[in-house]
C-alpha cells in the first residue's frame, strides 16, 4: 500500500529543526507550523519566495476577514520565527505590525454559580476535573496533565509539572478536594479506567490523558444545564478561584504563587473584579456633610 501523506519539505524540516534547537514546546511548534501553512496557502507558493508586499497584503487580508487581535499577533509571531530565524530575512517583516489587544476584565462566577456549575456535571470524571480547576486554580492543560503521583495528601499539595512557561510549582489541595479525588480514584479503579501511577484523568484509552477539548465541552454543557448565562470556559474557574481568595483576604502575593504568575501585576487584575472588596469600600459621597 502506498502512503498518501506528503513528504516534509526542506523548508519545513529546517523550521522544525530550528524550533527543536530552541526547545520550543510541542504546542508552540504546532502553532508556528500552522501559521506558516496558512500563509503558504494564501500565497499559493513557497513562503521563502514572499516579498515585503506579500506579507503586508497578508496582514490586510487577515484584518479584512475579522481575525481577532490575539490571533493576529500570534500569526505575526509565527511568521517572525520563520523569516527571522529560519530564513534569516528579518527585513521582510518591516511592513507587518502587531496590534493592540483590548483590555477586558475576566468573567468571574459567584460561589453559588460555581456550586451549581459543578453539580450540573453528570460525569464523575469531568465533575472531579472541574473541581480541581476551581479548587486549586489550575489551567485546563494543567488539570489534564496531572498524574496520580502528583497528589501529596501528607503535605496537602498538588505538584504541577511543567506548567505554563515550562515551570514546576505546587498548588493547594484542600480537604474537600482531596475527598473528591479519592472518590474519583476509587470509582476509576473499580471500573478499570485508571492505570497504576497513570493519568489522574485518563481519556477513553487510559494510556492517554483526557483532552482539554473534552473538558471545555463538559463545562459548556454544565453551564447550560445550570442556566448560567455568563460566557463560561475552563479558565473561568481559575479566574473565580483567584477572585474568591482575594475576597477572603488572602495575600495577593500568595495568590500569585498559587496561580504560578510571573508578575504580580497579572494577579492584581483580580482586584478589579473582587466585588466583595468593592462593597467594603465607603464612597466619599457617603461622608459629605449636608450644606
Q: Which of 66, 93, 120 is at the close of a domain?
A: 93
Active site residue 38: no
Catalytic residue among 159, 164, 193, 220: 164
Pinpoint the alpha helices (H) of 48-123.
52-64, 69-80, 111-119
Active site residue 231: no
Residue whose C-alpha is closest to residue 164's, from 203, 138, 196: 138
Residue whose C-alpha is closest to residue 215's, from 146, 273, 115, 112: 146
pLDDT tens, the chain, 291 aa long: 444 556 889 999 999 999 999 999 888 999 999 999 999 999 999 999 999 999 999 999 999 999 999 999 999 999 999 999 999 999 999 988 899 887 777 889 999 999 999 999 999 999 999 999 999 999 999 999 999 999 999 999 999 987 565 678 888 899 999 999 999 999 998 888 888 888 999 998 889 999 999 999 999 999 999 999 999 999 999 999 988 988 888 888 888 888 888 887 777 777 776 766 556 665 665 667 776
Active site residue 238: yes
Together in a domain, 68 and 154: no
Together in a domain, 245 and 143: yes
Together in a domain, 129 and 246: yes
Angle (nearest 5°) at CA 289 between 283 and 291? 130
Q: Which of 65, 93, 121 is at the close of a domain?
A: 93
Active site residue 261: yes
Together in a domain, 29 and 147: no
Catalytic residue among 169, 180, 238, 244: 238
Active site residue 193: no
Residue 118 lies in domain: 111-278
165-170 — which CB contacts under 8 Å span 24+ positions? 165/260, 165/262, 166/25, 167/260, 169/257, 169/260
Together in a domain, 29 and 70: yes
Together in a domain, 59 and 132: no
Active site residue 164: yes
Together in a domain, 174 and 270: yes
Q: Per the structure, how many domains does the chain have?
A: 2
| Cβ atoms of 234 and 219 closer than 8 Å | yes
Amino acid at each position: 500500500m502506498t502512503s498518501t501523506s506528503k513528504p516534509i519539505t526542506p523548508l519545513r524540516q529546517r523550521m522544525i529543526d530550528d524550533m527543536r534547537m530552541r526547545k520550543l514546546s510541542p504546542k508552540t511548534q504546532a502553532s508556528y507550523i500552522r501559521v506558516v501553512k496558512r500563509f503558504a496557502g494564501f500565497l499559493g507558493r513557497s513562503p521563502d519566495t514572499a516579498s515585503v508586499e506579500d506579507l503586508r497584503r497578508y496582514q490586510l487580508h487577515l484584518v479584512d476577514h475579522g481575525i481577532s487581535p490575539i490571533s493576529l499577533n500570534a500569526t505575526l509571531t509565527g511568521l517572525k520565527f520563520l523569516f527571522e530565524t529560519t530564513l534569516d530575512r528579518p527585513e521582510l517583516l518591516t511592513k507587518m505590525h502587531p496590534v493592540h489587544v483590548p483590555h477586558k476584565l475576566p468573567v468571574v462566577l459567584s460561589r453559588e454559580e460555581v456550586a451549581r456549575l459543578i453539580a450540573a456535571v453528570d460525569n464523575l470524571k469531568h465533575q472531579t476535573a472541574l473541581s480541581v480547576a476551581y479548587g486549586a486554580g489550575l489551567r485546563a492543560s494543567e488539570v489534564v496533565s496531572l498524574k496520580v503521583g502528583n497528589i501529596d495528601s501528607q503535605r496537602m499539595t498538588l505538584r504541577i509539572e511543567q506548567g505554563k512557561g515550562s515551570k514546576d510549582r505546587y498548588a493547594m489541595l484542600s480537604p474537600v478536594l482531596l475527598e473528591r479525588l479519592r472518590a474519583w480514584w476509587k470509582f476509576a479503579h473499580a471500573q478499570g479506567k485508571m492505570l497504576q501511577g497513570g493519568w489522574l484523568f485518563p481519556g477513553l484509552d487510559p494510556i492517554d490523558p483526557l483532552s482539554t477539548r473534552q473538558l471545555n465541552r463538559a463545562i459548556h454543557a454544565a453551564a447550560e444545564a445550570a442556566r448560567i448565562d455568563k460566557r463560561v470556559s475552563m479558565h473561568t474557574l481559575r479566574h473565580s478561584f483567584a477572585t474568591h481568595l482575594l475576597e477572603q483576604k488572602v495575600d495577593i502575593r500568595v495568590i500569585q504563587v498559587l496561580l504560578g504568575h510571573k508578575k504580580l501585576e497579572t494577579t492584581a487584575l483580580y482586584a478589579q473584579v473582587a466585588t466583595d472588596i468593592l462593597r467594603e469600600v465607603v464612597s466619599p459621597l457617603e461622608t459629605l456633610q449636608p450644606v
